[in-house]
């Protein structure tokens, strides 16, 4: 198999370092790793493939002409630098919100809609973390029963706010080793719950809530699907949880729904549903895993053709790094081969 020159932009950040880790775990055919970051991180070392690689600037990263660049450095960086990488023939997989709703860019979860990618796609958007785990759980159900409406409430880890979120919570817990970074939240997060992720918009929803709404429709390519979300930050380190209520056009049999997840018909998902023995998905169990865990499957007795489910995943992995690497894998198997 051909080896590829792979850049990771934001290589020293939480998600960027996880991207490098996942590249190694999946034995991605990396001939050369090109770790890129801001000027303050240039010269630092990252470990991959049993050796150290020196972090370089984004300008030097462009000059290195990688085959694929995986970005996790924020929307502003992506807006400026993704086109520069693309101009030198590099495929960009971007984890920021910059390109997700751009009608000229594909928003991809490979297990669901990887086939939308073509040789013309130079910048590819990686969906929001909370969206990815939800649509992976919903996709086989949508195929079987057709989704009409989704109501979702999330319980999202502080890792979704990067190092700022982690260290704010640690400081509030009295950890003197926590870095003195600016607070990620307007209120205390330890022993608290904040119904506030990202900025509030004029419609009263947060940007995170509208991401879930709009991205789900775009990924499924179905404007008829209605989604409403409430996104909540909780004092958990690693792993997002979601309470999902879904209404279908067709009625379903609950045993058949469970069989979909138990029999491997839901790629990337694992059934974890035995409440009689206290078995259900939890962030602690999902931490460090690349799968989406689905449980608490039960019929909504208050409305016809409605299902309740509980969906948990490691937001830094399948919610970000792993999906981005899966896109890169799809590219080398189907586009760059």
As beta bridge partners, residue 150 has 227, 246
pLDDT of residue 10: 97
Q: CA 256, CA 37: separation in Å to the nearest integer?
A: 47
Which structure tokens are listed for 38? 């801001």
Whole-structure pTM value? 0.96
DSSP symbol at 158: G
CA dihedral angle for residue 141, residue 142, residue 146, residue 147, rounded to 10 degrees: 100
C-alpha separations of 81 from 60, 86, 96 in Å: 12, 9, 12
Rg (CA), the chain: 20
Residues of the chain with CATH 3.40.50.720: 4-127+320-334
The torsion angles phi and psi of 118, rounded to 5 degrees, stand at -130, 175
Model confidence pLDDT, tens digit, residues 2-16: 999 999 999 999 999
What does the mean pLDDT of the chain come to? Answer: 97
Q: CA 163, CA 72: separation in Å to the nearest integer?
A: 14
| Cα dihedral across residues 210, 215, 321, 71: positive or negative | negative
Q: How many CB atoms lie within 10 A of CB 254?
A: 11
| In the predicted structure, residue 105 carries a pLDDT above the cut 80 | yes
Residues of the chain with CATH 3.30.360.10: 130-315
Q: CA 321, CA 314: separation in Å to the nearest integer?
A: 10
Active site residues: 129, 240
Which structure tokens are listed for 25? 């775990």
Provide DSSP, 229-246.
EE--B-S-SS-EEEEEEE
Q: Which helix (H) or strand (E) covers residue 219, if one does? A: helix 207-220
pLDDT of residue 197: 98
For the chain, what's the residue count? 337
CATH 3.40.190.10 correct for 4-127+320-334: no
The torsion angles phi and psi of 136, rounded to 5 degrees, stand at -65, -40
- Per-residue pLDDT, averaged over 213-239, amounts to 97
| In the predicted structure, residue 264 carries a pLDDT above the cut 90 | no
b (16+ CB within 10 A) / e for 141-151: bbeebebbbbb
Which structure tokens are listed for 102? 């751009």
CATH 1.10.3720.10 correct for 130-315: no
Q: How many CB atoms lie within 10 A of CB 256?
A: 10
Which structure tokens are listed for 149? 């409406």
Provide DSSP, 91-117.
EEEE-SSSSTT-TTSEE--HHHHGGG-
pLDDT of residue 238: 85
| In the predicted structure, residue 128 carries a pLDDT above the cut 80 | yes
Kindly give, in sequence order, each residue whose CB lies less than 8 Å from that of residue 87, ignoring residues fewer than 6 positions away. none
Which structure tokens are listed for 31? 């001939």
CA dihedral angle for residue 194, residue 74, residue 291, residue 217, rounded to 10 degrees: 80
When mean pLDDT is compared across 72-81, 175-184, 197-206, the lowest value belongs to 175-184
- Per-residue pLDDT, averaged over 13-25, amounts to 96
Model confidence pLDDT, tens digit, residues 57-95: 999 999 999 999 999 999 999 999 999 999 999 999 999
Model confidence pLDDT, tens digit, residues 290-308: 999 999 999 999 999 999 9
Q: CA 201, CA 215: separation in Å to the nearest integer?
A: 17
pLDDT of residue 179: 85
- Per-residue pLDDT, averaged over 172-188, amounts to 93
């Amino acid at each position: 198999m051909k080896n590829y020159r792979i850049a990771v932009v934001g290589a020293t950040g939480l998600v960027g370092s996880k991207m490098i880790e996942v590249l190694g775990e999946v034995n991605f055919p990396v001939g050369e790793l090109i770790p890129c970051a801001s000027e303050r991180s240039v010269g630092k070392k990252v470990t991959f493939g049993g050796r150290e690689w020196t972090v370089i600037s984004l300008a030097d990263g462009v000059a290195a002409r990688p085959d694929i660049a995986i970005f996790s450095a924020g929307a502003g960086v992506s807006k400026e630098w993704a086109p520069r990488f693309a101009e030198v023939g590099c495929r960009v997989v971007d984890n920021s919100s910059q390109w997700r709703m751009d009608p000229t860019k594909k928003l991809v979860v490979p297990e669901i809609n990887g086939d939308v990618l073509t040789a013309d796609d130079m910048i590819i958007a990686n969906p929001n973390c909370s969206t990815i785990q939800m649509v992976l759980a919903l996709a086989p159900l949508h195929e079987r029963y057709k989704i009409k409406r989704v109501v979702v409430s999330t319980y999202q880890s502080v890792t979704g706010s990067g190092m700022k979120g982690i260290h704010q919570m640690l400081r509030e817990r009295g950890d003197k080793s926590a870095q003195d970074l600016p607070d990620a939240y307007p209120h205390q997060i330890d022993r608290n719950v904040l119904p506030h992720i990202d900025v509030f918009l004029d419609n009263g929803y947060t940007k995170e809530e509208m991401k879930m709404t709009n991205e789900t429709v775009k990924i499924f390519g179905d404007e008829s699907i209605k989604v409403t979300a409430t996104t909540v930050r909780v004092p958990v380190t690693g792993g997002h949880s979601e309470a999902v209520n879904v209404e279908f056009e067709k009625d379903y049999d609950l045993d058949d729904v469970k069989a979909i997840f138990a029999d491997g018909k839901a790629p990337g998902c694992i059934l974890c549903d035995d409440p009689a023995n206290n078995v259900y998905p939890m962030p602690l169990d999902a931490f460090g895993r690349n799968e989406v865990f689905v449980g608490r499957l039960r019929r909504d007795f208050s409305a016809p053709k409605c299902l309740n489910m509980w969906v948990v995943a490691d937001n830094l992995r399948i919610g970000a790094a792993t999906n981005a690497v899966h896109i890169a894998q799809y590219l080398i198997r189907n586009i760059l081969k």
